[in-house]
Amino acid sequence: MSLTHLDPEGRPVMVDVSAKTATKRRAVAAGYLALSPECAEALASGGGPKGDPWTVARIGAIGGAKRTGDLIPLAHPLALDAVTVAQHWDPELRRAWLRVEVVLEGRTGVEMEALTGVSLGLLVLYDMLKAVNHRMELGPVRLLLKEGGRRGRIQEPWPDCPWQE
């Protein structure tokens, strides 16, 4: 199988999607930030010195999904129809979970937008809690579902994830 982002000489290119038919496309990704006991306590009590971490992380996740074309060099800038963010706190494992769903009608998929949204949202959560301490671990972040386009539906189960598609 050849890589689509390389020309015949092996140079990077942005894939030409102009001949593709626009279809409804949807992608869902999730991931978590593992917290130290002190950060977990701050999150569970509504925040740390910087305020409410969940609200800012949700806004960051939406912004990350919207700016994916600016952040990933060969990604197409996409006009997204919807970005939905969900959060989940697992106090037993001290994991702060984010789920990002992205939808559009277009010629190329939105899995990079969903993955970028989760990643940036979790980085924002880290930033909001680092005033407590830096003992946090980012990830993993995974694609749970991709629908639409040439490949149709792709679903990746993740038993530990609080959301199953």
What backbone phi and psi angles, to 5 degrees, belong to 75?
Answer: -80, 145
In a domain, 57, yes or no: yes
Instruction: Give domain status of residue 6, yes or no.
Output: no
Domain assignment present for residue 115? The answer is yes
- Can you give the three-state secondary structure of 36-91, one letter per residue? CHHHHHHHHCCCECCECHHHHHHHHHHHHHHCHHHHCCCCCCCCCCEEEEEEEEEC
In this model, does residue 2 exceed pLDDT 70?
no
- Answer whether residue 16 is part of any domain: no
- In the chain, the number of structural domains is 1
Q: Is there a contact between 88 and 118 (Cβ–Cβ < 8 Å)?
A: no
Residue 160 in domain: no
Whether 146 contacts 62, CB under 8 Å = no
Specify the pTM.
Answer: 0.92
Q: What pLDDT was estimated at residue 3?
A: 63
Please give the positions annotated as active site.
Answer: 127
The string of pLDDT tens digits covering residues 108-126 is: 989 999 999 999 999 999 9
67 lies in which domain range?
A: 23-155
Residue 28 lies in a domain: yes
Q: Label residue 17 by pLDDT band (50, 70, 90).
A: confident
Q: What is the CATH number of the domain that holds 94?
A: 3.30.70.640
